[in-house]
Amino acid sequence: MNNTSSRYSDFIAANNRASGHIYFKGQWVAQEQRTPDAQSPAGGVSSSVHDMAQWMRLQLGKGIFDGLQIINAEALAETHRPQMISNPPQNPSIDRAEFYGLGWGIKYTDEGLVRLSHSGAFNLGAATTVYLLPSEKLGIVVLTNSRPIGVPETIALSFLDLVQYGQIKRDYLKLLQSAFAALDQPPYGTLIDYTKPLTQPLPALSYNSYIGTYQNDYFGEIEIVERDGKLILLQGAQKKAFPLQHYNRDVFTYQPEGENAFGLSAVTFTVGADGKGTNVIIENLNILEQGTFHRLLPQK
C-alpha cells in the first residue's frame, strides 16, 4: 500500500488526489478541503483503489498476502466477530439482528453468509464503503469525493446482488435516501430560526459583561473579545475569530464552519450579580450537553 497514509501532509503532497465536493446551489463544487489530522487515522486516511484492493485481499485471506502471513489470523478474525448488537430485530421471530465488530458492521444474509461492511462519510466531500463476503472471497470498495447521499452503498449492494443472484433485487438508492436524509438534518438551531430577527429584542449589556476567557474540559478555552466595536468569539487551537451577532439580551449568534456546520448557532451567556458573564453555552457544541464554558477568574 504505497499510496496510503493517515497524514494530511502526505495526501496534500500527492500529485494525483481527489478534492471533496458538496452540493451547493444546484451544482457539485469543491468548496473546502478537510484537514483531518486531529481525528486520524479514524477519519484521516487517504488511499487509492489499488491499495484498498490489496487491503481487501489481506482481509479475505485471513491475514495472508502473496503467501506471507502479515497479520495473525486469529487476531484478524477477532475484528470480524460480533461485539455488540447495532440493530436489534424489529420482529425477533423473523428478523435477524445486525452487529458491530471492531470497526466492521456484521450481518447475516438470507443464505446464511457473513457480510462485513463499513462506510465512511464527511459532509465536506467524502463517501466511501467496503463490503466483504469472506466465505466467497469476494469484496468491493467504492470511493467517492462527494458528500454522502448513499451512492457508494448503492453501487456495492447492487454489485453483490448481481454476483449472487444475477440481478439487482432492490432500488438501493431509493431505500438509502431516506436514511441519509435523516442523517443530514441539522443537530442544532432547530428550535429557533436565528435568521429571522425579533421585532423587539432586549438590548445587550455592555460588552464588558461578556468579555473574558471561558473554559470547557472537553473543548478547551474560548475567548470573548471586542474588536472594532464588535464582539468576537475566539475558538479552537488557532483562536479563529468568529463575529457575534446580537439576537436578544444575552443571546448572540455566530456561523460555525467545518464538515458538521449548518446554520447559525446560539451563543448564550449567563450573567452573574456582579454584571459579569459566569458561563456561556455554545449551541452547536452542546448537542450532547457538553458545550458549557465557565469563566476563568483572574489569578490573584
Domain presence at residue 190: no
- Look at residue 39 in the predicted model and tell me its pLDDT: 85
**108 and 251 housed in the same domain:** no
Domain enclosing residue 255, as ranges = 207-295
**Which amino acid makes up residue 245?**
Q
Q: Grid coordinates standing for 142?
A: 467504492
**138 and 216 housed in the same domain:** no
**58 and 20 housed in the same domain:** yes
What is the number of structural domains in the chain?
2
**Which amino acid makes up residue 78?**
E
For residue 128, pLDDT beyond 90? yes
- Look at residue 299 in the predicted model and tell me its pLDDT: 57
**211 and 178 housed in the same domain:** no
- Spatial separation of the C-alpha atoms in residues 145 and 163, rounded to whole Å: 26
**Which amino acid makes up residue 291?**
G
**260 and 142 housed in the same domain:** no
Domain presence at residue 198: no
For residue 57, pLDDT beyond 90? yes
- Could you please report the per-residue DSSP string of 152-191? HHHHHHHHHHHHHHSS--S-HHHHHHHHHHHHTS-SSS-S
| 35 secondary structure, DSSP code | -
Residue 54's pLDDT band, with cuts at 50, 70 and 90, is very high
**97 and 229 housed in the same domain:** no
* Mean pLDDT, rounded, for 182-199: 91
Instruction: Return the CATH number at 246.
Output: 2.40.128.600
SS (H, E, C) 132-162: EEHHHCEEEEEEECECCCCHHHHHHHHHHHH
* Mean pLDDT, rounded, for 175-185: 87
Domain presence at residue 189: no
**281 and 227 housed in the same domain:** yes
Tens digit of pLDDT for each residue in 2-25? 999 999 999 999 999 999 998 888
For residue 38, pLDDT beyond 90? no
Domain presence at residue 139: yes
Tens digit of pLDDT for each residue in 217-258? 999 999 999 999 999 999 998 999 999 999 999 999 999 987
- Look at residue 105 in the predicted model and tell me its pLDDT: 98
**257 and 137 housed in the same domain:** no
Hey, is 205 helix, strand or coil?
A: coil
**80 and 158 housed in the same domain:** yes
- Look at residue 8 in the predicted model and tell me its pLDDT: 94
**217 and 168 housed in the same domain:** no
Domain presence at residue 235: yes
Tens digit of pLDDT for each residue in 60-112? 999 999 999 999 999 999 999 999 999 999 998 999 999 999 999 999 998 99
Kindly report the pTM of this predicted structure. 0.78
- Look at residue 169 in the predicted model and tell me its pLDDT: 95
Q: Grid coordinates standing for 274?
A: 456582579
- Spatial separation of the C-alpha atoms in residues 28 and 218, rounded to whole Å: 35
CB 202 within 8 A of CB 251: no
For residue 292, pLDDT beyond 90? yes
- Spatial separation of the C-alpha atoms in residues 116 and 106, rounded to whole Å: 5
| 46 secondary structure, DSSP code | B
Instruction: Return the CATH number at 39.
Output: 3.40.710.10
**32 and 156 housed in the same domain:** yes
Domain presence at residue 197: no
Tens digit of pLDDT for each residue in 136-167? 999 999 999 998 999 999 999 999 999 999 99
CB 55 within 8 A of CB 63: no
Cell 468576537, residue located:
232
Domain presence at residue 1: no
* Mean pLDDT, rounded, for 174-179: 91
Give every CB contact of residue 140 below 8 A, 6+ residues apart in sequence.
Answer: 130, 131, 155, 156, 159, 160
For residue 300, pLDDT beyond 60? no
- Spatial separation of the C-alpha atoms in residues 228 and 163, rounded to whole Å: 65
Tens digit of pLDDT for each residue in 77-86? 999 999 999 9
- Look at residue 261 in the predicted model and tell me its pLDDT: 86
**145 and 258 housed in the same domain:** no
Which of 279, 276, 281 shows the shortest CA–CA distance to 266? 281
Domain presence at residue 276: yes
